[in-house]
């Protein structure tokens, strides 16, 4: 009986010990699990804060972009911008003619002079005298008639599109080709073309010795819509930029590239004159 009475407390004691051990093991396991969960929780909180910071930065950038767009729209409404005509490859009007609807043909544009000097040399008096002789014996600053019979035989008055001019025949033929292309490519500018003169035997204004190239019938002054381009202001009318491409193709030199810009003036270049001479046209 004593053994039976001792076994009960012993079993209880063993149960308490085992319960204590089990509690300790479970507690330890829970601590380990809680530690991993805490690490994951902390990491998640850090990532959340980073995401919120990124969102705030993106929202700030978006607001700045919206403010910039609003400012640009306000500026455009206050000061409308006229598109600058794009560059044109020599020998073609290209897309420039597309801008005639947005740019007035007499609007002044800044001129890139070097572009129109390529392949054409300005004819000086020495070259033209060599090829065509003197128009007359004496000159002054007023227009006079040609007295040289050889040069007179080369001259002709012709209606070329909207203008009537007197020049040497190969120059008239060349001018007809120019006006034909202009009419085909840009009829609005063609219809606006006028002239401030062609043949005029005189000295260059301000000179007592140099003769104007108009004296040989190898130069013409072009106007647009009866509006003369301003002399020596460094700018040129938009429509003359288009026309200059065609003159350049035909080997004419443009007065816009003079040291004192004269954008309405076009004259046959040295190379073209020599080619005509070699062909027996002058």
Distance from the Cα of residue 85 to its chain's centroid: 5
Strand ranges for 176-244 from DSSP E: 193-197, 219-224, 235-237
CATH of 96-278, one of 3.40.50, 1.20.120, 3.30.1380, 1.10.3470: 3.30.1380
Q: Are 189 and 105 in contact (CB under 8 A)?
A: yes
219: closest CA among 243, 251, 252?
252
Backbone angles phi, psi at 46, to 5 degrees: -65, -45
Instruction: Identify whether the C-beta of residue 156 lies closer than 8 Å to the C-beta of residue 169.
Output: yes
Question: How do the domains of the chain map onto residue ranges?
Answer: 1-81, 96-278
Is-contact 198 219, C-beta < 8 A?
Answer: yes
Please provide the size of the chain in residues: 282
Residue 174, SS3 per DSSP: helix
Instruction: Report how far residue 153's alpha carbon sits from residue 176's, in angstroms, rounded to the nearest whole number.
Output: 20
What is the pTM assigned to this prediction? 0.63
Neighbours of 208 (CB within 10 A): 9
The answer to whether 272 touches 230, Cβ cutoff 8 Å, is: no
DSSP 227: B
C-alpha distances in angstroms, 253 versus 36, 77, 169, 248, 269?
Answer: 87, 41, 18, 7, 5
Render each residue's pLDDT in the chain as its tens digit; 282 residues: 444 454 555 555 555 655 565 565 555 554 544 445 555 555 666 566 666 766 777 777 777 767 777 766 666 565 444 444 444 333 334 444 444 454 577 766 566 666 776 789 999 999 999 999 999 999 999 999 999 999 999 999 999 999 999 999 999 999 999 999 999 999 999 999 999 999 999 999 889 999 999 999 999 999 999 999 988 888 889 999 999 999 999 999 999 989 889 999 999 999 999 999 999 999
């Amino acid at each position: 009986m004593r053994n039976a009475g001792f076994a009960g407390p012993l079993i209880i004691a063993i149960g308490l010990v085992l319960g204590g051990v089990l509690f300790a093991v479970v507690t330890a396991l829970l601590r380990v699990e809680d530690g991993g969960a805490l690490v994951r929780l902390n990491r998640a909180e850090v990532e959340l804060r980073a995401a919120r910071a990124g969102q705030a930065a993106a929202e700030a950038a978006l607001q700045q972009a919206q403010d910039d767009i609003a400012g640009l729209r306000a500026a455009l409404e206050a000061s409308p911008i006229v598109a600058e005509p794009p560059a044109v490859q020599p020998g073609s009007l290209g897309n420039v003619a597309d801008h005639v609807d947005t740019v007035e043909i007499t609007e002044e544009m800044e001129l890139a002079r070097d572009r129109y000097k390529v392949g054409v040399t300005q004819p000086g008096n020495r070259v033209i005298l060599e090829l065509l002789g003197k128009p007359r014996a004496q000159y002054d600053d007023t227009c006079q008639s040609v007295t040289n019979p050889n040069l007179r035989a080369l001259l002709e008055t012709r209606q070329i599109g909207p203008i009537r001019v007197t020049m040497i025949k190969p120059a008239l033929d060349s001018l007809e080709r120019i006006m034909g292309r202009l009419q085909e490519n840009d009829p609005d500018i063609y219809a606006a073309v006028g002239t401030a003169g062609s043949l005029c035997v005189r000295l260059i204004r301000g000179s007592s010795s140099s003769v104007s190239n108009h004296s040989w019938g190898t130069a013409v002054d072009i106007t647009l819509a009866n509006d003369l381009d301003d002399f020596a202001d460094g700018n040129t009318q938009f429509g003359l930029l288009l026309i200059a491409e065609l003159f350049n193709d035909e080997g004419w030199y443009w007065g816009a590239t003079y040291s004192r810009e004269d954008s309405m003036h076009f004259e046959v270049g040295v190379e073209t004159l020599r080619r005509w001479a070699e062909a027996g046209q002058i």
